[in-house]
Structure 1
């Protein structure tokens, strides 16, 4: 049974360290990393959406267009809240190894209630783009955007954030550079 929350794959970043749009790089058996993530997550969640600045994908998927001028996760979160009107699971497109074990433990922590955000954490630190965000955060996000503030860390520090600890660092491997992309493709 899928988790009763929508999942939003964040695929609207600049990919400046990669040198090209990482969401559009081939991965696994798919033409793009975005499609790889979409296809593997679709059976696990009530719905799956791609957060992006433009319709750039060579496959059909529900899009949440982030029309903000800034490239920041907070802009995508705000667009997702406005499009979905409720709580959702967030995952960065470039984190292909977060799996059902991660989603399950995050969802259990979310179901306990009392948190505005539930975020994965490993020995290297927190992973804010692997977590569950509740509608309680919308007013603070809206105020931050109106004030030109876009630091996700600031939002989480000033919210009721529950961290879920994981020992396995590889679950949160993030592809930001060509070398990291090559390493992830080899591990896949």
Structure 2
């Protein structure tokens, strides 16, 4: 079991999906969030769910609610997480990437020797900002970004001491942004259950 905490990011607006993707049913679970919680509980000792409000979930978990309720941006989630956790680092994963597996996670953890601000996955030359390890050394940068109204994680990663770890299988990084991608993910998961 990995001893750094894992935080599932489930506080986005889901504007392209048209409904809250964190609450969509997935596999045998009532919500995608519960699926992710179940999957990653096999790998991490401690798991948290980052969200705007825990009231939308009807199950028990360790929730970290955003300190800034007005802003829908990952910057405020990162700031809230570092304020809540005592740990110097945590593994960040998005609720809408259900196929990121143990192998990917363990590779990223092995690549983190403590000398970087973050260790983040890259696939097909695309940075995957919500699949990686973030260190507390970035807290002041997140705070500055929020004050300057800059919320792109790629901006932070390109201006910090980050180790980018390349992966080959882009299907593992399927991101459920819209209904088509959600249906594709359901087809993949249903085929694996046969």
**TM-score interval, smaller chain:** over 0.9
Unaligned stretches of 5+ in structure 2? 190-194
Name the counterpart of 1:97. Answer: 99
2:42 aligns to what?
Answer: 43
Distance 2:4 2:123 in 1: 23
- Counterparts of 1:9-48 in structure 2, within 5 Å, are 9-48=8-47
Contact 2:23–2:33 (Cα < 8 Å) also in 1: yes
- Asked if 2 retains the 8 angstrom alpha-carbon contact of 1:119 and 1:130, the reply is yes
Asked if the contact 2:120/2:129 (under 8 Å) is kept, the reply is yes
- Contact 1:8-1:49 at 8 Å conserved across structures: yes
Shift of residue 147 of structure 1?
2.6
**Does the aligned pair in 1 maintain the 2:25–2:32 contact within 8 Å?**
yes
Give the Cα–Cα distance (whole angstroms) in 2 for the partners of residues 181 and 25 of structure 1.
Answer: 9
Query: Are the equivalent residues in 1 in contact too, given 2:127–2:154 (CA < 8 A)?
Result: no
| Corresponding residue for residue 192 of structure 2 | none
Kept in 2, the 8 Å contact 1:124–1:169? The answer is no
Q: Is the 8 A contact 2:41 2:47 kept in 1?
A: yes
TM-score (norm 2): 0.93
SS at match of 1:4: coil
**TM-score of the two chains, using structure 1 as the length reference:** 0.96
Which residue of the partner structure matches residue 7 of structure 1?
Answer: 6
- SS of the residue corresponding to residue 3 of structure 2 reads strand
Q: Deviations over 1:55-103 (max 9, x none)?
A: 1112111000013222111211111111113210000000000001100
Q: Describe the superposition over 1:105-157 as per-residue Cα deviations: whole angstroms up to 9, x where unpaired.
A: 100011x2211000000114110000000011011111222232222111111
Unaligned residue ranges in structure 1 (runs of 5+): none
Aligned-CA RMSD value: 1.0
Q: What is the alpha-carbon distance in structure 1 between the residues aligned to residue 187 and residue 76 of structure 2?
A: 32
In the aligned structure 1, how far is the partner of 2:6 from the partner of 2:106? 13
Moved more, 26-35 or 40-49: 40-49
The separation in 2 between residues aligned to 1:27 and 1:128, in whole angstroms, is 23
Runs of 4+ in 1 over 3 A off after TM superposition: none
